[in-house]
Amino acid sequence: MTRQIIVGNWKMNGTSRDSLALVEALLAGLPATGPDIVTCPPFTQLALLADKLKGSPIALGAQDCHKDVSGAHTGDISPAMLTDLGVSYVILGHSERRQEHGELDETVREKAVAATKAGLTPIVCIGETEDQREAGEHFDTLGWQIKGSLPDNFSGILAYEPIWAIGTGRAATEDEIAETMKFLREELVRQFGEAGKTLRILYGGSVNAKNAASILSITDVAGALVGGASLNVEAFLSIIGAASAA
């Protein structure tokens, strides 16, 4: 069985004081054994938390990176800068980046290549809108996103987050997730051959303490990308516990 991974995406939340308090509480409450755990704070907290998490069971992740090693890109962060801080993972292509910053599949693909070259594990997000699902276009949408966003020889993690479930409190149903995961696995095998059989797929979109156990038990769900619940110590520890039991 593939070891599950729980990734906390803090988004644009977390002052230094709050971030330290959250991480200290998480470390104090972790079970003796469990899934892989990644926390992805804002860029401003990476250096602070890198020192705190060094040698701990929690790996450090970032929420984005640029495709270039360096250059005239005001406000951007390169993959090399992240690895220099001790970052191991990076979230790429989140729907909020795609929608608010106009990121295309090609952009995400270039970032995934750059992240991998720098030694980071890319967590590439895909997902359909509510209109696309209702129109029966969700599988076509996801297939094209995989083709456009994942580079050849991709060895990172795929995260499926239906856009209509992000931050709404309305997670996809177990049947919807199971059907989509089956499609994603088949599509990964179709596009990547044998390698597609072992790529980890996460589910994200209103994952919380109440629904985590049922979601994480679904075939091909190798973990969760957690948004709001990752900012609540008890909720995030409960999700980690559900992954341990899955």
Mean predicted lDDT score pLDDT of the chain = 96
The answer on whether 228 is annotated among ligand-binding residues is yes
State yes or no: pLDDT of 99 exceeds 80: yes
Q: What three-state secondary structure class fits 203?
A: strand
State yes or no: pLDDT of 2 exceeds 80: no
pLDDT digits (tens, 9 = 90+) for 222-232: 999 999 999 99
pLDDT digits (tens, 9 = 90+) for 41-76: 999 999 999 999 999 999 999 999 999 999 999 999
How far apart (Å, rounded) are the C-alpha atoms in residues 151 and 156? 10
pLDDT digits (tens, 9 = 90+) for 169-208: 888 899 999 999 999 999 999 999 999 999 999 999 999 9
Verify whether residue 161 is a known catalytic residue. Answer: yes
The answer on whether 227 is annotated among ligand-binding residues is yes
Give Cα 94 distance to the centre of its chain: 8
The answer on whether 164 is annotated among ligand-binding residues is no
Question: What is the pLDDT, as a whole number, of residue 168?
Answer: 83
pLDDT digits (tens, 9 = 90+) for 105-134: 999 999 999 999 999 999 999 999 999 999
Question: What is the pLDDT, as a whole number, of residue 1?
Answer: 55
Domains and CATH numbers, the chain: 5-245 (3.20.20.70)
- Which residue of the set 103, 128, 161, 187 is catalytic? 161
Phi and psi dihedrals of 173, rounded to 5? -75, 165
Read off the DSSP letter of residue 97: H
State yes or no: pLDDT of 88 exceeds 80: yes
The answer on whether 217 is annotated among ligand-binding residues is no
Contact indicator for 203, 221 with CB cutoff of 8 Å: yes
- Which residue of the set 66, 94, 96, 138 is catalytic? 94
Verify whether residue 94 is a known catalytic residue. Answer: yes
How far apart (Å, rounded) are the C-alpha atoms in residues 41 and 19? 8
